[in-house]
Amino acid sequence: MLAFVISRILQALPVMAVVALISFAMFAYVGDPVAIMLGQDFTEAQRQALVASLGLDQPFFVQFAKFLWNALHGEFGLSYRLSRPVAELIAERAPATLELAFCAALVSICIGVPMGVYTGLYRNSWLSRLFLTFSLIGVSLPTFLIGILLILVFSVWLGWLPSFGRGDTVQVGWWSTGLLTASGLKALILPSITLGLFQLTLIMRLVRAEMLEVLRTDYIKFARARGLANRVIHFGHALKNTLVPVITVAGLQLGGIIAFAIVTETVFQWPGMGLLFIQSVNSADIPVMAAYLMLIALVFVTINLVVDLLYYAVDPRLRVGGGAARGH
């Protein structure tokens, strides 16, 4: 177990190193922070002093090491656009994004799995065909368009739900949550559906395919021969054995949810990290972009790691081969 964990962490390190290098290169070579910080009037001596104080006269690797050291302490400097510490900006926006991502994941799993089980069990019913058509459309629809259509129907035409923002939030410690107020919950509905729809269709198709596969196996036939109730066979035996790939895909998609939160947050003007990132891209605010990139990379690497470990926990075959027998 320990060897497996260590080997996975060792594989994750180069990824982080590459991303850190890219972030640093953006910092160091894109745009000119000295020119931005000096403004219009300056003498050559002032410029030299600033360059020295920022450490820009140091060799590349010294600068990179310093950047890494600062990044490990959550120091990414000041945002060019807002002149505030990047770490502070991100920390303030993180709860909004995390709550949205959590609700979207919840939507996609709680609806996607039952739909997948149903379409797997009753593959020829009209409802299954409807679900499958719906999933094809779900895959073809860009996220932002789903959001716009939902706003049009539920905010503009029906006037049931808010079209932008988080509603009222409550401060719990440093965490601002929208989960505790009625308007906050209402504001979460449309963005969560928008963000979760793609994952929902993916999970549904995956569960369906796995169910079809599992229902053909001998142990299901044997369970039927033993006279077990359908409910026990379908949920206790069949669904349970489809869960390994579902956990993997759902886990890996969690990263996708956080990335696509950028789009959803823009559509709904949701004050999260994604909106911050988009505003930074549009105004070439490199420190925020670099910090966001590192953060997202960390999230992705962690998710991959956790999924691998879950695999290990769920699939006993892995324990025998010590990781060599991974995959199909």
The least CB distance from residue 245 to another protein, in Å, is 17
**Options 69-77, 214-222, 230-238, 291-299: segment touching another protein (CB under 8 A):** 291-299
Give yes or no for residue 297 binding another protein (CB under 8 A): yes
**Options 103-111, 124-132, 212-220, 284-292: segment touching another protein (CB under 8 A):** 284-292
Give the residue with the Cβ less far from another protein, 204 or 239: 204
Tokens standing for residue 241: 């054995």
Separation of alpha carbons 9 and 13, rounded Å: 6
Give the residue with the Cβ less far from another protein, 56 or 153: 153
Contacts of 259 (CB under 8 A, 6+ apart): 296
Q: What is the DSSP letter of 85?
A: B
The least CB distance from residue 230 to another protein, in Å, is 30
Please say whether the beta carbons of 188 and 103 come within 8 A: yes
The least CB distance from residue 281 to another protein, in Å, is 4
Give the residue with the Cβ less far from another protein, 23 or 176: 23
Give yes or no for residue 289 binding another protein (CB under 8 A): yes
Give the residue with the Cβ less far from another protein, 40 or 171: 40
Please say whether the beta carbons of 138 and 196 come within 8 A: no
Size of the site for another protein (CB under 8 A): 45
Binding mask 239-268 for another protein (x = CB under 8 A): ----------------xx--xx-xx--xx-
Identity of the amino acid at 246? V
Give the residue with the Cβ less far from another protein, 199 or 242: 199
Give yes or no for residue 53 binding another protein (CB under 8 A): no
Contacts for 82-88: CB closer than 8 Å, 24+ residues apart = 82/285, 86/287, 86/288, 86/291, 87/291
The single residue among 13, 18, 21, 52 that binds another protein, judged by CB under 8 A, is 18
Tokens standing for residue 313: 């926990």
Q: How far is CA 175 from CA 40, 67, 90, 91, 206, in A?
A: 40, 28, 12, 9, 35
Please say whether the beta carbons of 257 and 198 come within 8 A: no
The single residue among 1, 30, 56, 106 that binds another protein, judged by CB under 8 A, is 30
Report the length, in residues, of the chain: 328
Give yes or no for residue 26 binding another protein (CB under 8 A): yes
Give the residue with the Cβ less far from another protein, 11 or 48: 11
Q: Look at phi and psi of residue 226 and say left if phi exceeds 0, alpha if psi is from -120 to 50, else beta.
A: alpha
Please say whether the beta carbons of 108 and 200 come within 8 A: yes
Give yes or no for residue 220 binding another protein (CB under 8 A): no
Separation of alpha carbons 211 and 239, rounded Å: 7
Separation of alpha carbons 141 and 147, rounded Å: 10
Binding mask 115-154 for another protein (x = CB under 8 A): ---------------------xx-xxxxxxx--xx-xx--
The least CB distance from residue 175 to another protein, in Å, is 25
CA–chain centroid gap for 263, Å, is: 12
Separation of alpha carbons 263 and 168, rounded Å: 22
Residues forming contacts to another protein in the complex (CB under 8 A) are 14-15, 18, 26, 29-31, 136-137, 139-145, 148-149, 151-152, 155-156, 163, 255-256, 259-260, 262-263, 266-267, 277-278, 280-282, 284, 286, 289, 293, 296-297, 300-301, 304
